[in-house]
Structure 1
Amino acid sequence: MPADSTPDAGIADEATTGGSGRRAKGCRRKPPSKGRRAVRVAAWTAAGVVVLGGTGVGYLYFKLNGNIHSVDIDQALGAHRPTKADNGSENILVLGSDSRSGGNKKLGGGTDDGSARSDTAMVVHLYKGHKRASVVSIPRDTLIDRPECTDAKGAQHPAQSQVMFNSAYSTGGAACAVKTVESMTGVRMDHYLEVDFSGFKQLIDDLGGVRVTTTKDIDDPNSHLNLKSGAHTLDGTQALGLVRTRHGVGDGSDLGRIQLQQAFIKALVHQVEQVGVLSSPTKLYDLADTATKSVTTDSDLASVKDLASFAGGLKGIKPSHMNMVTMPVEYDPSDPNRVIVQQEKSRLVWNALKDDRPIPASAVKGAATGEAKGVVETS
């Protein structure tokens, strides 16, 4: 049996699963399969790919293409980076941005200073053959050593020790976030995808909401979320509150929020399967327009055609062949609001991705979790 078709390739014994899809260039558009939809929403911050994989390059191409923002990561970081894999596997850094400016000002919470941070970060690893994937969430409150970075205006920022992970993005933008992740992991990021708050909110509204069931009451004034236990159809504002809440569930940590995000991804996959966007040209256009206005990519994915081709190439990934884990961390003994990396276990995770191997279950066993698993289920 070929290596990329091994039944347990990319699947840890105790991981939470989901899935997605993709179409090669030049192929006739087909209705998205369950696996194709699932991988596209493997990270809510990459939700725009849900639409882009189905739009093709028809009469809307030029308008939608002009919506996309991009960053030339390769030029910004130069040649001093981890080696790019030559076996067809790929790594994508997916970020959710909580900019305090523009349409995000009323959604971001916290300070109203126009700054931005990476509220959510996930490394998506596509295994050789693109039949399986692993997603590793990086807690934003992780204390890390950030390398020297140059921001988009050319200003240099010296390296810093023991700073929060999400400070890399607020310090030097996308390029600094990528450089920091590569420094932490030793793994080359082949692509970059970012979606902001207002775009995520509008995408959920364009979909008509997402149905979930909460097994406990959630009340978090900080994320403007108040849900009683039971079934709900979340609009964009509520969905955004759910994936951002931390004080209303579990132990109040960022780790609990990550568990909610992973549960919401499953609910979003289920909802996309039900709405039939391809049967409604108006709904499809609204989704595509919102997605392309909201997404920021690396320069290699900076067109509808390239994004559609990238998404279309994932069609072989089934939901059961997608692994979702959190980078192994433990609570900082000196500050319960921060976490520190479990270095030995994390090396097992990143080395597995570097070598295109499944993440061993032992790598995540015993790590801090946030105690929010099971609070949200697919309705």
Structure 2
Amino acid sequence: MTGDETNGDEGRRVGRRSRALRIAGLTLAGVLVLAAGAAGWAYWQLNDNIKSVDINTALGDNRPAKPTPSATATAEELPTEALNILVLGSDSRSGAENQALGGGDSTGARSDTAMVVHLDAGRSEATVVSIPRDTLVTRPSCPLENGGSTEAAYNAMFNSAYAVGGPVCAVKTVESLTNVRMDHYIEIDFAGFAKLVDALGGVTVTTEEDIDDEDSHLTLEAGTHHLDGEQALALARTRHAIGDGSDLGRIGLQQQLVKALLEQISTTDLLTDPAKLYRVADAVTGSLTTDTGLDSLTELTRLGQSLKDLSADSVTTVTMPVVPAPSDRNRVVAEEPEASELWESLR
């Protein structure tokens, strides 16, 4: 073999390697471009999922005082002020999924679940206070989107506030009842809750008694169970088959579910499974309504990151103290002074 032939073969091999490297480089670049595009599309999709209500503008300044933020705090530092969030689970039947899960096609919506979530300044502890939906309250006059307002009502069911005036009236009624400023509002519907549980792979709960509820269509023997989304939603709605059949028994189950969800989230490494992370994020944002302070993926992510050290053991769940209403034994009213002392402790 001559030197020219050798150089020619070597040149061809170098040329092939060069082309292969160029192809590999172009392929990698293409994958990166597609990944970036997919990430951009995913962010846009998730961000676009979120619905919001401008509660601050609607309610104006006639509200409980808001604590003054620390002058030394920066966006990168840990939060230095406590935060109160009104979390509602609505029984909306809008859409086929909600109608199927809700067991009917009735119109309108009510706040089936109401919780005031109080996050401490360091975000290492939280208190979740459930407000029974059967509580009789003074419902204040609330502004409506059309420029009108609802009439004030006395001895009104707590969950009627959402029914007559939506999130704005729900927040105003809670603030009127508690004299605690709600910094944010989060609402999730039937389908959203079930999808979230399924996206997380289910939740594990332990029931202390057998449950056989015709209304929620849930049958469980006493013991530990791993529930899928539809079963978890049925447990959250179960009422007549436990305790005295009142809303107070259901609240206990709902509080248990909150802790079970926190446990499941803490044991699921979403960052190593982008597909599961997207499913969870899509489930959350797809059925979420927030105030305008939380209506972007950036704001929700910032809130989530601030809670990274919050464990289920650091969450205290309580129910607003109530007693049977004198006017209707099937309803309850706030028990005083215990209820006022509870809200004062949050303030």
Measured against the shorter chain, the TM-score band is 0.7 to 0.9
Q: Given that residues 88 and 186 in structure 2 are in contact (C-alpha distance below 8 angstroms), is that contact kept between their aligned partners in structure 1?
A: yes
| TM-score, length-scaled by structure 1 | 0.75
In structure 2, give the amino acid aligned to 1:306.
Answer: E
Q: Given that residues 133 and 323 in structure 1 are in contact (C-alpha distance below 8 angstroms), is that contact kept between their aligned partners in structure 2?
A: yes
Secondary structure of residue in 1 paired with 2:93: coil
Secondary structure of residue in 1 paired with 2:206: strand
Identify which of 178, 181, 193 aligns with 1:188: 181
Structure 2 partner of 1:30:
none
1:1-379 aligned at under 5 Å gives the runs 58-59=39-40, 60-87=42-69, 88-102=81-95, 103-109=97-103, 112-354=105-347
Give 1:157 deviation, angstroms: 1.1
Give 1:205 deviation, angstroms: 1.6
In structure 2, give the amino acid aligned to 1:145.
Answer: T
Aligned counterparts of 2:311 and 2:273: Cα–Cα separation in 1: 25
- Uncovered stretches (5+) of structure 1, i.e. residues with no partner: 1-56, 355-379
Aligned counterparts of 1:292 and 1:76: Cα–Cα separation in 2: 23
Aligned counterparts of 1:76 and 1:254: Cα–Cα separation in 2: 31
Q: Given that residues 259 and 312 in structure 2 are in contact (C-alpha distance below 8 angstroms), is that contact kept between their aligned partners in structure 1?
A: no
Distance of aligned partners of 1:202 and 1:321 in 2 relative to their CA distance in 1, 3 Å threshold: closer
Q: Given that residues 152 and 173 in structure 1 are in contact (C-alpha distance below 8 angstroms), is that contact kept between their aligned partners in structure 2?
A: no
Secondary structure of residue in 1 paired with 2:337: helix
Aligned counterparts of 1:92 and 1:177: Cα–Cα separation in 2: 12
Give 1:312 deviation, angstroms: 1.1
Q: Given that residues 266 and 311 in structure 2 are in contact (C-alpha distance below 8 angstroms), is that contact kept between their aligned partners in structure 1?
A: no
Structure 2 partner of 1:373:
none
Structure with higher Rg: it is 2
Aligned counterparts of 2:309 and 2:199: Cα–Cα separation in 1: 27
Give 1:337 deviation, angstroms: 2.3
How many residues are aligned here?
297
Aligned counterparts of 1:196 and 1:247: Cα–Cα separation in 2: 21
Q: Given that residues 105 and 114 in structure 1 are in contact (C-alpha distance below 8 angstroms), is that contact kept between their aligned partners in structure 2?
A: no
In structure 2, give the amino acid aligned to 1:343.
Answer: E
The two structures, once aligned, show a CA RMSD in angstroms of 1.8
Distance of aligned partners of 1:269 and 1:150 in 2 relative to their CA distance in 1, 3 Å threshold: same
Give 1:321 deviation, angstroms: 3.3
| TM-score, length-scaled by structure 2 | 0.81
Distance of aligned partners of 1:155 and 1:105 in 2 relative to their CA distance in 1, 3 Å threshold: farther
Secondary structure of residue in 2 paired with 1:239: helix
Which one has the bigger helix percentage? 2
Q: Given that residues 151 and 171 in structure 1 are in contact (C-alpha distance below 8 angstroms), is that contact kept between their aligned partners in structure 2?
A: no
Give 1:277 deviation, angstroms: 2.6
Aligned counterparts of 1:106 and 1:79: Cα–Cα separation in 2: 40
Calculate percent identity across the aligned residue pairs.
55
Aligned counterparts of 2:336 and 2:172: Cα–Cα separation in 1: 19
In structure 2, give the amino acid aligned to 1:167.
Answer: S
Segments of 4+ in structure 1 off by > 4 A? Answer: none
Give 1:290 deviation, angstroms: 1.5
Aligned counterparts of 2:233 and 2:310: Cα–Cα separation in 1: 27
Give 1:333 deviation, angstroms: 4.1
1:93-148 per-position Cα deviation (integer Å, ceiling 9, x unaligned): 11001102213112224x63320000001111122333322111100010001000
1:54-79 per-position Cα deviation (integer Å, ceiling 9, x unaligned): xxx95321121111101101111111
Give 1:317 deviation, angstroms: 3.4
Aligned counterparts of 2:313 and 2:225: Cα–Cα separation in 1: 26
131-140 vs 241-250, greater mean Cα deviation? 131-140
Higher relative contact order (CA 8 A, sep 6+): 1
1:6-50 per-position Cα deviation (integer Å, ceiling 9, x unaligned): xxxxxxxxxxxxxxxxxxxxxxxxxxxxxxxxxxxxxxxxxxxxx
Structure 1 partner of 2:73:
none
